[in-house]
Amino acid sequence: MRNNHLLLLLKEIMEDIKEVIRTEEEIERENSVRDKLSNPGPFEDYMKNLELLQMKLSTLIEDIDRIKRNLK
């Protein structure tokens, strides 16, 4: 029963994390990416942005995994 409660809590925490991610800064970055896709620049810039997004996703996944471990 306790594990079910912890899983529900984890689900709520993960939902909160998803909301927090959409901060004004993130929205500005998304708009910047949209602008760059509308007006493509050098391919190298696109690849740098893609690498940055991959690093951020990796960090987020690590944070979620850490939260899961802490709840166990």
What pLDDT digit, counting tens, does each position of 15-48 carry? 887 777 677 777 888 888 888 777 766 777 778 8
Total domain count, the chain: 1
Token code pair at residue 64: 């979620």
- Answer yes or no: are the C-beta atoms of 68 and 9 closer than 8 Å: no
Domain span including residue 55: 2-71
User: What is the rounded distance in angstroms from the CA atom of residue 17 to the CA atom of residue 20?
Assistant: 5
Percent of the chain with pLDDT over 70: 92
Q: Is the pLDDT of residue 64 over 80?
A: yes
Q: How many Å is the Cα radius of gyration of the chain?
A: 17
Q: Is the pLDDT of residue 66 over 70?
A: yes
Q: Residue 1: what pLDDT?
A: 64
